[in-house]
Amino acid sequence: MKLKLWQIDAFAEKVFEGNPAAIVSLDHWLDNALMQRIASENNLAESAFIRREGYGRYGLRWFTPTVEVDLCGHATFASAWLLFAELDRELDSVSFETRSGTLVVDRGADGRHSMSLPSDIVAPLDEPHRARDIGEVLGAVPPLELHTGRNILAVFDGASAIRALKGPGEVARFIPADKGLIVTAKGDGGYDFISRYFAPHHGVAEDPVTGSAHCALTPFWAKRLGKKTLHARQVSPRGGDLQCADAGDRTILSGNCILYLRGEIEC
């Protein structure tokens, strides 16, 4: 069996930037174990599988190298970019049916498309021992605040502190098995906020640019800064920019994608 595959850098202005996602276009869903093996072989933070279900409607599933996940923003964005650019060029909007409901991406006139995702409103987490442990394992002073939602959100004092954090180390010991860790601070250099994201339980030590994490970061910083539209930077080693808008129960993310490769899988 031969399957077509594209690798696309999401939230990137040039190749080797942003977050790479593998996109596999299917006529029918494969066996779950086979999709997981393909994702493991790709060895990217996310592999997305798409299947056409009707005009402007596609099924979409996401796999890390180790598990299927409920939500992945950058691979959704990359999937839409591929449809608009190559596979379904007449579309101005695409709806993806996913484990997180219907996700919509709208074509942008300048190639910078917009994606609507469910917001993740975090709640304060009063656990000073966990904060100390997280700070210690990341090689930093403890975060000023902890919050919880779909992930643990740790707020640090200043952008320089986020950039200086060492890798995730053994941070998995201090976050629940179903969550990742978002670290964030108020931005600098024209950015409203910056962040990094670690998901060791999902086989991703540090994710380059994480759309789903911004579903928590956007409403959090929108409220704190009194702004509805924010310019964000994820300061991973690859790095990437996002335009974020707080729309209440939805978060709107905008950015660019770059094609890295087209290929064919033999399986």
Same domain, 128 and 244: yes
Q: Domains in the chain: how many in total? A: 2
Rounded mean pLDDT of 22-35?
Answer: 97
pLDDT in tens, 126-170: 999 999 999 999 999 999 999 999 999 999 999 999 999 987 888
pLDDT in tens, 85-116: 999 999 999 999 999 999 999 998 777 899 99
Question: Do 231 and 243 meet the contact criterion of CB atoms below 8 Å apart?
Answer: yes
pLDDT in tens, 252-261: 999 999 999 9
Count of beta carbons in the 10 Å neighbourhood of residue 114: 18
pLDDT in the model for residue 166: 86
Same domain, 166 and 56: no
- One-letter amino acid identity for 107? R
Least Cα distance to 72 among 42, 52, 44 occurs for 44
pTM: 0.86
pLDDT in the model for residue 13: 87
Same domain, 14 and 104: yes
**Is pLDDT at 37 greater than 90 in this prediction?**
yes
Count of beta carbons in the 10 Å neighbourhood of residue 124: 10
**129 is in which domain, residue-wise?**
123-248
Same domain, 204 and 130: yes
- Please write down the HEC assignment for all residues of the chain: CEEEEEEEEECCCCCCCCEEEEEEEECCCCCHHHHHHHHHHHCCCEEEEEEEEECCEEEEEEECCCCEECCCHHHHHHHHHHHHHHHCCCCCEEEEEECCEEEEEECCCCCCEEEEEECCCCEECCCHHHHHHHHHHCCCCCCCEEEECCCEEEECCCHHHHHHCCCCCCHHHHCCCCCCEEEEEECCCCCCEEEEEEEHHHCEEEECCCCCCHHHHHHHHHHHHCCCEEEEEECCCCCEEEEEEEECCEEEEEECEEEEEEEEEEC
Same domain, 84 and 178: no
Q: Which of 17, 46, 90, 145 is catalytic?
A: 46
Same domain, 20 and 101: yes
Same domain, 97 and 170: no
Confidence band, pLDDT 50/70/90 cuts, at residue 52: very high
Q: Active site includes 266?
A: no
> In this predicted model, which residue has the larger pLDDT, 201 or 169?
201
**Is pLDDT at 221 greater than 90 in this prediction?**
yes
What the block records as the tokens of 43 is 């060895």
pLDDT in the model for residue 39: 97
> What CATH code is carried by the domain that includes residue 214?
3.10.310.10
Same domain, 136 and 101: no
pLDDT in the model for residue 25: 97
| Pairwise CA distance, residues 90 & 121, whole Å | 35
Percent of the chain with pLDDT over 70: 100
Question: Taking all residues of the chain, what is their mean pLDDT, rounded to a whole number?
Answer: 95
Same domain, 107 and 220: no
Max Cα-Cα span within the chain: 54
pLDDT in tens, 65-86: 999 999 999 999 999 999 999 9
| Pairwise CA distance, residues 184 & 200, whole Å | 17
